[in-house]
Structure 1
Amino acid sequence: MDRNAEHSEQLISLYGGSTPVLSRWTYRAGEPFTITAAFQTDRDRWVEWVFARDLLVEGLTCPAGEGDVRMRPDFSGGRTMLVLEISSPEGHARLEMEHDAVESFLDATAEIVPLGTESDHFDIDALIEEITNV
């Protein structure tokens, strides 16, 4: 089974001001533990971040993550947002996304691979083959 879920959203990146940033979120049944979030930095350039789906699950309800990717809900200003902070040696970004839209994306991933059943969908033999055929 190789079904995917994709979600695109306009994000707000805060660097002392705000700038719209297009993102593309992808979930693949063949990689059931991870989500890929790609952010458009230029017209033809996307930067991808891969993180655990469990991080997104936790980040929708409480602060989650240590290190390069952190998430937390923000219920201020009359809107419910998900704040995503990503860091790399090149810099740091704080992005705000509509909480409901991200939650809908997570629900779509759970229709493909129900939460807690990721191990049942993970092809360990394919991973071993990929690692050993380098």
Structure 2
Amino acid sequence: MQITQVRSTVNHMVHYQTRLDTTFAALSDVTRRGVLEQLVGSDASITDLAQKFRMTLTGMKKHVSVLEQAGLVTTEKVGRVRTCKLGLRRLEEEAAWIERHRQLWSARFDALDELVAHLKCKEKTDAQSKRR
């Protein structure tokens, strides 16, 4: 593999990890998840969101900024009103990451279930042997 290909692959992985980190950090807060749920129904001003979540404008602006950085929300200022709407970015990469890890853990739990069943069967057989 050439050095430029390695650099490109490394840059892609760093970008991918940074994007996952940014998205999951944005989604880690209950208020930000609530804002996204609110915006599914309709666009809203930062003032409306602040009132809905009973917080200061400054606090809501910070939450919206985090969501914007993750590409989950866009804002548009018209006059003195800043309106928020869902971003165009979909969560396909994040969903794929979650699915890969779900499959991994599912396989591990299936293997554990098999081991437990085997051990129970062996324990039962050993107990029957001892009674004889």
- After TM superposition, is the score higher than 0.5? no
TM-score of the superposed pair, with normalisation by structure 1: 0.36
Greater strand share, 1 or 2? 1
Bigger radius of gyration among the two: 2
